Amino acid sequence: MDVIKCVRELGKAIQQDERFIRYAKARLENDNDKDLQAAIGKFNIARMELDREMNADEKNEDKVKELNDELRRVYGEIMSAPAMVEYNTAKVELDGLMNEINTVIAKSLDGEDPETCETTAACSGSCSTCGGCH
């Protein structure tokens, strides 16, 4: 069987996996959540204003603090929105699936048996000795 044909079959299987379906649904709900999209717009405007103020020749420290506080407030609003919480949870699960898939591929390229190789990486907590995140 052609490798690319197999990868296309893998892509179809991924799209049928419950983790992908949950992620796709959460992404769509985020896109359609008008309040969340408005908050993201406010965040982007506040970030641009903060960048502009930070790069001004004569920086107004009070304005920088005010914009920074606004940025943090809006960010907290965005990240605590139920739709965003669901999206982030679903994304973590989908990323876990992708990490397992990538681990099998990488180990197969190293000559390990794809049927029996371990799909999770052991994490010591030290990034200095890590061969890739799990």
Output the furthest CA–CA distance in the chain (Å, rounded): 65
Lowest mean pLDDT among 30-34, 115-119, 122-126: 122-126
What is the per-residue pLDDT for 73?
Answer: 95
What integer is the mean pLDDT of 3-13?
A: 95
CB 103 within 8 A of CB 119: yes
What is the per-residue pLDDT for 59?
Answer: 87
Q: Which of 118, 116, 126, 86 is nearest to 99 (CA)?
A: 118
What is the per-residue pLDDT for 51?
Answer: 94
CATH of the domain spanning 3-113, picked from 3.30.365.10, 3.60.20.10, 1.20.1500.10, 1.10.3720.10: 1.20.1500.10
The DSSP secondary-structure symbol of 111 reads T
Here the tokens at position 45 are 């405007």
Radius of gyration for the alpha carbons in the chain, expressed in angstroms and rounded = 21
